[in-house]
Amino acid sequence: MYTIFWVGVRMEEQDRSDDQIRKTKITPDYLENPTGSVLIETGKTKVICTAMVEESLPPWIEHNDEMEQGWLTARYGMLPGSGESRIRRERRGAKGRTKEIQRLIGRCLRTSIDLEKLGPRTIWIDCDVIQADGGTRTASITGSWVALRLAIDRLLKDDILDEDPIIRQIAATSVGLVDNKILLDLAYKEDFSAQVDMNVVMDSDGNYVEIQASGEESVFDRKQHYKMLDYAEKGVKELINIQKNALS
């Protein structure tokens, strides 16, 4: 097996600096039927994120008299044509990586909403990757928050909700160590050859929601860790502004 190292410039965009996110665009109300929907494009990665509301609760909440709250859950999937080779559909439920990403998206978004104010209803977040070039989970979180915001705005407009349950704005990006160089917002080839890979979810106040970091057959020190967090914070701030512009 050969290890490919990329030196000097970013792989897919020669004019992108090490601490710069890929060109990112969020298109709101991308689909007609969902309560909230967006298409998020970051580099070559494209994800459709939808938020749909059900006026019911999962049985484990509905049958628990001590819990008076709504619920939010997430699903994630890569369409067969989203990668360079055909990706098989997971017909018997999510497994492995897919399940882990679904849980990540769901728990991050639940930090952004007061479930008691949501009332006895469920919000389903669905993230469908239609083209993958790295960062699909972070793009899903960033796009899904906008879809959630659009869905809540519609519930408020239709007088289904009396009070806004959204309590914070969140976004996510990736950062990694590639050929001993720290890079922000990794494309697939960068992620594939990364010595260290990190996903960072933050809110608009600069607080951390979740950090996932691992050495890919390598290690990293505290100085590198802090620099990666600095890069991630810069990237998330830019994504927060892109979210705001999409909603405006």
Is residue 89 within 8 Å of residue 78, measured between CB atoms?
no
For residue 86, pLDDT over 50 is answered with yes
63 C-beta neighbours (distance < 10 Å), count? 9
Domain 24-247 class in CATH: alpha beta
Digit-coded pLDDT (tens) for 176-218: 999 999 999 999 999 988 999 999 999 999 999 999 999 877 8
Is residue 155 within 8 Å of residue 53, measured between CB atoms?
yes
* Element counts in the chain: helices (H) and strands (E): 6, 9
* Token pair of 135 as six digits: 């960062």
Digit-coded pLDDT (tens) for 12-62: 555 789 999 999 999 999 999 999 999 999 999 999 999 999 998 888 776
Cα 17 off chain centre by: 22
3-state secondary structure 104-130: HHHHHHHCCECHHHHCCCEEEEEEEEE
What pLDDT score does 7 carry?
Answer: 40
Digit-coded pLDDT (tens) for 151-174: 999 999 999 999 999 999 999 999
**Quick check: helix, strand or coil at residue 54?**
strand
What value, to the nearest 5°, has the Cα angle with vertex 148 and ends 146 and 152?
120
d(CA 62, CA 91): 28
